[in-house]
Copies of this chain bind each other. A is one copy, B any other.
Amino acid sequence: MSEEIRLAFAGYGTVGKALHRIIEERNDAFERDEGFRFRVVAVARRDRYIVDADGLATATIRTGSWTSGDAIAMLGECEADVLMEMSPTDLDTAQPALGHCRYAFREGMHVVLANKGPVVRAPDELHQRAADAGVQVRHEATVAGCIPTLSTARHGFAGDTVRRIEGVLNGTTNFILTRMAEEGSDLDQALREAQSLGYAEADPTNDLDGFDAAAKVVILANSVLGREITMDDVEVRGIRDITRQAVELAKAHGYRIRLIAEADREGIARVGPRLVPAGSSLDVKGALNAVRFTTDLAGHVTLTGAGAGGMETAAAMLSDLMGLARVGKARRVERAKA
């Protein structure tokens, strides 16, 4: 009899649906190859939730009986081992995700986040509360989509020390800068194109002004580089003042303009447009992301891949979940309630 790990989903949009479908499709393979499978026992979406200790199939989510209430109410009613936190991100308040995490920790649940809010706004609290509760918190999906950034820093460079990280961490601005160089369009045209293709939101502030990339700098600096910084510590410049002429001038000299996020172990934590040589490792095209590590022993290693997308984000959350399950850390911790 294999182990079954019970999951509660906070949020059921593109990512949640993709993750649920992936788990359903792969559960038999997980059981065969790894000796465990997953059971989705609760799903909360906006102001309603559904709980079934026997497990929810993707097909029964639509037809099942939903109750009015939020994710906290759901967590109080289900016996989950791991909270999969996929609620809408608020980089200012970190809510409602932070409240979900606090509640889950008190109940002895581990937490896997796709939501950047708590990781950016309250990393100390998050990790302290998890440690106090004896549970794990992981958040591979908060940085660079399906590029295994945190996993590579931990496992790939085990024993080594990462000194510096630079990257293209925002796919929307990279798509815009790529189109400006390829089509000779100006920023507004490229932005409208990005919006029509679903790469940019109606309010593109977080992307264009560099805040999304800055949030990822905070996460990488704190998680990989031993820093303790907040959004206020990141020097941020976006791409709003990048003109078609600037892009073309760069191109004529063999360069590309890219919105580069960077941090090191000393004082650097910044986001801004930079010239990178055409064809160099950070010159990724379109909505791709790139992460370049500089380490003591391995030197420079660069990872490139899709930065966003429901499936990619779900894949990153799944890798966190597998990591917990493989080391036997995915079971709820039974303890006196605080």
Q: List A residues at the B interface (Cβ < 8 Å).
A: 22, 26, 30, 146-148, 151-152, 154-160, 278-279, 281, 283, 295, 297-306, 311-312, 314-316, 318-319, 321-323, 326-327
Interface residues of A, dominant DSSP = mixed
Q: Are A156 and B148 in contact (CB under 8 A)?
A: yes
* Residue of B with least CB distance to A322: B158
In the assembled complex, the Cα of A185 lies from the Cα of B311 at a distance in Å of 46
Q: Are A148 and B159 in contact (CB under 8 A)?
A: no
Q: Are B327 and A146 in contact (CB under 8 A)?
A: no
* Residue of B with least CB distance to A30: B159
Known: A155-B148, A156-B148. A297 touches B315 (CB 8 A): yes
* Residue of B with least CB distance to A302: B304
In the assembled complex, the Cα of A302 lies from the Cα of B319 at a distance in Å of 17
Residues of B within 8 A of A147 (CB): 298, 301
Residues of B within 8 A of A158 (CB): 151, 318-319, 322-323, 326
- How far apart are A132's CB and chain B's nearest CB, in angstroms? 20
Residues of B within 8 A of A30 (CB): 159
Known: A159-B322, A318-B158, A323-B158. A146 touches B298 (CB 8 A): yes
Q: Are A297 and B314 in contact (CB under 8 A)?
A: yes
In the assembled complex, the Cα of A146 lies from the Cα of B293 at a distance in Å of 12
In the assembled complex, the Cα of A138 lies from the Cα of B299 at a distance in Å of 22
Known: A299-B305, A302-B305. A156 touches B319 (CB 8 A): yes
Q: Are A298 and B306 in contact (CB under 8 A)?
A: yes
Interface residue from B26, B300, B315, B326 paired with A298 (Cβ < 8 Å): B315
Return 15 A-B CB contacts under 8 Å, by A number: A22-B159, A22-B297, A146-B297, A146-B301, A147-B298, A148-B157, A158-B326, A160-B315, A160-B318, A279-B283, A297-B314, A298-B306, A299-B312, A300-B306, A304-B304
Q: Are A152 and B159 in contact (CB under 8 A)?
A: no
Interface residue from B155, B156, B311 paired with A297 (Cβ < 8 Å): B311
Q: Are A306 and B299 in contact (CB under 8 A)?
A: yes
In the assembled complex, the Cα of A304 lies from the Cα of B282 at a distance in Å of 11
In the assembled complex, the Cα of A283 lies from the Cα of B284 at a distance in Å of 12
Interface residue from B26, B152, B279, B321 paired with A152 (Cβ < 8 Å): B152
Q: Are A159 and B306 in contact (CB under 8 A)?
A: no
In the assembled complex, the Cα of A3 lies from the Cα of B20 at a distance in Å of 41
- How far apart are A230's CB and chain B's nearest CB, in angstroms? 24
Q: Are B321 and A298 in contact (CB under 8 A)?
A: no
* Residue of B with least CB distance to A284: B281
Residues of B within 8 A of A306 (CB): 298-301
Q: Are A157 and B301 in contact (CB under 8 A)?
A: no
Residues of B within 8 A of A312 (CB): 297-299
Residues of B within 8 A of A160 (CB): 315, 318-319
